[in-house]
Structure 1
Amino acid sequence: MSESQTAPVSDLPRAWPFEEARKLADHVAQRDTASAGGDARPALLETGYGPSGLPHIGTFGEVARTSWVRQAYTALTGRPSRLLAFSDDMDALRKVPDNVPQREMLEKFIGQPLSRVPDPFGTHDSFAAHNNARLRAFLDGFGFEYEFASSTDYYTSGRFDAALKRVLEVHDEILAVILPTLGPDRRATYSPVLPLHPRTGEVMQVKMDAIDPVAGTVRWTDPASGEVFETPVTGGHAKMQWKADWAMRWYALGVDYEMSGKDLIDSVRLSGRICKILGGTAPAGLTYELFLDDKGQKISKSKGNGLSVEEWLRYAPPESLGQFMFNQPQRAKRLYFDVIPKTADDYLAHAEKACTQQAQNPTGAELRANPAWFILKGQVGPQACSPVPFGMLLNLASVANADTPEVLWGFIRRYDAAVSPETHPMLACLVKHAVAYYADFVRPAKTFRAPTDMERAALADLAECLRGYEGDAPDAAALQNLVFEVGKRHGFEPLRAWFGCLYEVLLGQKEGPRFGGFVALYGVGETIALIDAALLRDRQD
């Protein structure tokens, strides 16, 4: 599709994946124009993975975000695309991870390609094969559509041979780009080519004594023995240093799009220059911000100061994790337990809105700008929604001291007898997560405070108003208005101070739900009893 055939910028849905899709479409259009006779290849989007460790939350984020760009590209252009999940499993093992068995055994294989390191878990042919299998199971579990690629397979099969010979042809030009970025010691031995030792199999970081582009070989000296070797760069006998490897891969495969973290800005720029030297064009891409922990520090896998995918999914559904990744990828965000409830409710609000937008215009820009449209892969529907927000469930769990989902379902069924786990699967999922989150975070942190004289009078007034409330089926909006009126009548200014009182005195926490909705779900009589108990507790104290 040519530049003139893509949608005008003003017509794009206002969502960042569509902005990225336009960049991708422009890149593909330029590629097509530059190719003699045109280039009808599908757009190739790539994500990279280092299999020295298990997949983590950053892996999810990069694949999810790239998938959303791909979804937007399809909607924008109608053209085919591919997503390649590339594993750098020919990289050398630099250090032994802390979270694996047989660490002493692995120490013996430092410097070996990951695909030649034995699997410490004893389930696969190599450590890389084990982690690659975990990666694929991880991505499959989230329903991502992708093609898996192994660096070892691509090197050994000859897939990169032509590109590797091209590297030798422009070896000195690549050095001229990279050497100024290195320190004196590293500069003295650097080569973009890393031969594999023919006897030990180690990935050698040594200076090249000679380059032969015609023969496709490099000559180098083993610093330990002084022995000289001549190694072909083809057929898996050598690999590339990672920045040059990245550029070579873009060139060899014709990658059109790849995003990366803010910490790799300089590397992206450098690899782009090398790709141009090779004769290719660097892909379009997005630079995303990094995650921060609860203290605002950069998350580190080695420090373990973040939040894992498994931990997130204990406390909220995967759609909420998708929502977290969708929100402002170019802005640093705290990735810690306390962001989960709000993120879950943000997703639910978007999902509910998406159902309305779908009914009004299933191909409209408003729907396609909705995060839920991306998170649900376009499969918007009531099955993805919940009649009760997650925050409300947490507060219900808190006052009911719910230690099982059935405790919450007792209140929910009384609130609406037509609701069940079968009719509302998302609600069933949220109930399970709410019980877990309450047990681990809410219950240990509950701290009730005594009301002031002003608050005591207002609470007593609210209890009396609720005793006079009429209606068989509690109306959340009417109850919310009632709570508002009591706050106004007692002079709370601003009114959020009144709601802060309700949360801190009655629920033992700093924040809470729309209180009228909470009363409707928990029960009018139960709420009166909650207020009476709080006032009695205060008198006893």
Structure 2
Amino acid sequence: MPEQNRNVPNSLPKAWPFDEARKLAAHVEKKGAPADAPALLETGYGPSGLPHIGTFGEVARTSWVRQAYTRLTGRPTRLLAFSDDMDALRKVPDNVPNGDMLRGHLGKPLSRIPDPFGTHESFAAHNNARLRAFLDGFGFAYEFASSTDYYTGGRFDAALRRVLEVHDEIVAVIAPTLGPDRRATYSPVLPIHPRTGHVMQVRMDAIDAAAGTVRWTDDAGETFETPVTGGHAKMQWKADWAMRWYALGVDYEMSGKDLIDSVKLSGRICRILGGEPPAGLTYELFLDENGQKISKSKGNGISVEEWLRYAPPESLGQYMFNAPQRAKRLFFDVIPKAADEYLANVARAGETPADDAALLANPAWFIHGGAIGADDGSPLSFGMLLNLASVANAETADVLWKFIRRYDAAASPETCPMLARLVEHAVVYYADFVRPAKTYRAPAPHERTALADLAESLRGLEDAPTDPDTLQNLVFEIGKRHGFAALRDWFGCLYEVLLGQKEGPRFGIFTGLYGVSETVALIETALIRAPAADAVADASDDAAG
């Protein structure tokens, strides 16, 4: 058995990164790589727009495959974050300044266009810096690679000469996928015009594989002979992708569902060149609030910076980990659920023995690189903090800490650092999303009676020590006593009448946190604020009569 598979168990933890790791291990075995050779995983980035959250997702997910692969095989890995900054700018993004300036550089490589923000030597350098900054901020271990540097520095020269040797075979693969006009002029080689600097999509008049050159004619009728090496030309993107796999020996690269056909074509080209295409995962696309694909050029969806305004980075990791092969909405209302899923997984990990395979299936194990610490969880959920902020009209974190300390005197920002971060985020999320959306409804007559009973029962507990379970049982008993056919209807009443929202917390914990007396006052205020639903209806009938 090959060296790299000696540590691969017959059964794997039930987590998708381990499924991918097994595919990667099989690919490396097929290649017959030396036992100490690191597997090369790659992610690609097109810097024509500002980095967006989907780019982060691809790097995060690939990093988790790395983690699973090393745990599975004991072998090292490398992660190459590759920027296609030799690509031509085809249109001006909607979300950058100085659009008129950029329009004057359409058709040139991104790395040879001035930075519209005025902070870097080129547009690509600006966006590459943005990419690296947020990847560094998340602590990813990666190597950054610039297409421009690889082309001009000679890293691709041998592979580019090989492209010329099999030029016609590559054309035969791509041409059937093109329209008649583009098919007539297609070449995988895109020479850079020596005068205009434009990336040229033109027919090749002649290919000289031995010399490593191509001859072509521009629109003005002038003919040029251009070397494909040294950054004087680049490849069309499907051929470029295949050439990169071949030149660098890429073992794994995932891609979106919209690139399924491109992956197949690039795989065929890679084999023509003499390489083996990498293993990989096809992930589903993120959708914005309107169900449309998010786009870095349009700037729809959520940016990394926006997500981190409302929740900690671990919650974003949780969102990215969940079901990568299922399309998901990526909008602000998914943030609280992701935060609480993360917290639940940290709590579950704390109860799982270190040698239990279930730990390796826990998203928190991946998010924290296999080392989950005591400070990574929180005694209170993000949803609970949002509900507390809602009823307390919390404008600052101090308001929430007043209630938290009464609930748990030992809790503080120093003893509960994750809770401290969640509190700060909850205040901001409440102000921007919860408060504007609150809609209270009037209770029906039987709900009004039950609420009054709950207030009276809680009043009897104001001076007695109570725990969340006791309070929760009391709420259950009153719901049953007042004939709610389904207790979820009773809890729905509590959320909609008292909190002004469709869903809410475990009410016993909420009451313990907010305070028994305060909860009584909350109920009484709601009953005063909202007359019974039938009274409103009767008044309307009287007015109509």
TM-score normalized by the length of structure 1: 0.96
- CA distances 1:448-507 after superposition (whole Å, capped 9, x unpaired): 111111111111111111112277543111111111111111111211000000000000
User: Partner of 2:424 in structure 1?
Assistant: 432
Alignment of 1:261 onto 2:256: yes
Output the CA distance in 2 between the equivalents of 1:193 and 1:288: 29
User: Partner of 2:30 in structure 1?
Assistant: 30
| Conservation of the 8 A alpha-carbon contact between 2:95 and 2:297 | no
By how many angstroms is 1:412 displaced?
0.3
- Residues 160, 201 of structure 1: alpha-carbon distance in 2 compared, 3 angstrom cutoff: same
By how many angstroms is 1:9 displaced?
4.0
User: Partner of 1:412 in structure 2?
Assistant: 404
Deviates more, 1:163-172 or 1:103-112: 103-112
Q: Which residues of 2 match residues 61-210 of structure 1 at below 5 A?
A: 61-210=57-206
Q: Which residues of 2 match residues 70-469 of structure 1 at below 5 A?
A: 70-223=66-219, 225-357=220-352, 360=353, 362-469=354-461
Deviates more, 1:104-113 or 1:279-288: 104-113
1:489 aligns with one of 481, 487, 492: 481
Alignment of 1:532 onto 2:527: no
Deviates more, 1:308-317 or 1:250-259: 308-317
Letter in 1 for 2:509: G
User: Unmatched 5+ residue regions in structure 2?
Assistant: 537-545
User: Partner of 1:14 in structure 2?
Assistant: 14
Output the CA distance in 2 between the equivalents of 1:182 and 1:136: 35
User: Unmatched 5+ residue regions in structure 1?
Assistant: none
Output the CA distance in 2 between the equivalents of 1:186 and 1:40: 45
| Conservation of the 8 A alpha-carbon contact between 2:102 and 2:116 | yes
| Conservation of the 8 A alpha-carbon contact between 2:36 and 2:76 | no
1:44 aligns with one of 27, 40, 43: 40
- CA distances 1:130-162 after superposition (whole Å, capped 9, x unpaired): 111111111101100000001011011111011
- CA distances 1:188-229 after superposition (whole Å, capped 9, x unpaired): 111000011112221111000111111111010012x21111
Output the CA distance in 1 between the equivalents of 2:412 and 2:30: 53
Output the CA distance in 2 between the equivalents of 1:17 and 1:273: 26
By how many angstroms is 1:95 displaced?
1.5
| Conservation of the 8 A alpha-carbon contact between 1:6 and 1:25 | no
Q: CA RMSD in A?
A: 1.4
By how many angstroms is 1:3 displaced?
6.9
- Residues 472, 67 of structure 1: alpha-carbon distance in 2 compared, 3 angstrom cutoff: farther
SS in 2 for 1:47: strand
Letter in 2 for 1:398: S
By how many angstroms is 1:437 displaced?
0.8
| Conservation of the 8 A alpha-carbon contact between 2:35 and 2:75 | no
Output the CA distance in 2 between the equivalents of 1:184 and 1:355: 61
SS in 2 for 1:83: strand
By how many angstroms is 1:122 displaced?
2.1
By how many angstroms is 1:52 displaced?
1.3
Letter in 1 for 2:20: E
- Residues 528, 538 of structure 1: alpha-carbon distance in 2 compared, 3 angstrom cutoff: same
By how many angstroms is 1:119 displaced?
1.5
SS in 2 for 1:271: helix
By how many angstroms is 1:303 displaced?
4.1
Output the CA distance in 2 between the equivalents of 1:454 and 1:293: 41
- CA distances 1:35-91 after superposition (whole Å, capped 9, x unpaired): 6xx474210000001111221100110000000000111111110100000001111
By how many angstroms is 1:5 displaced?
1.8
By how many angstroms is 1:538 displaced?
2.4
| Conservation of the 8 A alpha-carbon contact between 1:156 and 1:235 | yes
**Sequence identity (%):** 78
Deviates more, 1:528-537 or 1:511-520: 528-537
| Conservation of the 8 A alpha-carbon contact between 1:31 and 1:39 | no
Alignment of 1:56 onto 2:52: yes
| Conservation of the 8 A alpha-carbon contact between 2:442 and 2:530 | yes
User: Partner of 1:523 in structure 2?
Assistant: 515
Letter in 2 for 1:298: K
| Conservation of the 8 A alpha-carbon contact between 2:4 and 2:74 | no
| Conservation of the 8 A alpha-carbon contact between 2:394 and 2:427 | yes
User: Partner of 1:5 in structure 2?
Assistant: 6
| Conservation of the 8 A alpha-carbon contact between 2:95 and 2:298 | no
- Residues 419, 472 of structure 1: alpha-carbon distance in 2 compared, 3 angstrom cutoff: farther
Deviates more, 1:142-151 or 1:115-124: 115-124
Output the CA distance in 2 between the equivalents of 1:495 and 1:511: 14
- CA distances 1:309-360 after superposition (whole Å, capped 9, x unpaired): 1111111111001100000000011111111111110100001111222xx2
| Conservation of the 8 A alpha-carbon contact between 2:462 and 2:517 | no
Output the CA distance in 1 between the equivalents of 2:463 and 2:341: 31
- Residues 297, 101 of structure 1: alpha-carbon distance in 2 compared, 3 angstrom cutoff: closer
Output the CA distance in 2 between the equivalents of 1:363 and 1:185: 61
Letter in 2 for 1:112: K
SS in 2 for 1:512: coil
| Conservation of the 8 A alpha-carbon contact between 2:88 and 2:108 | yes
User: Partner of 2:500 in structure 1?
Assistant: 508
Deviates more, 1:303-312 or 1:249-258: 303-312
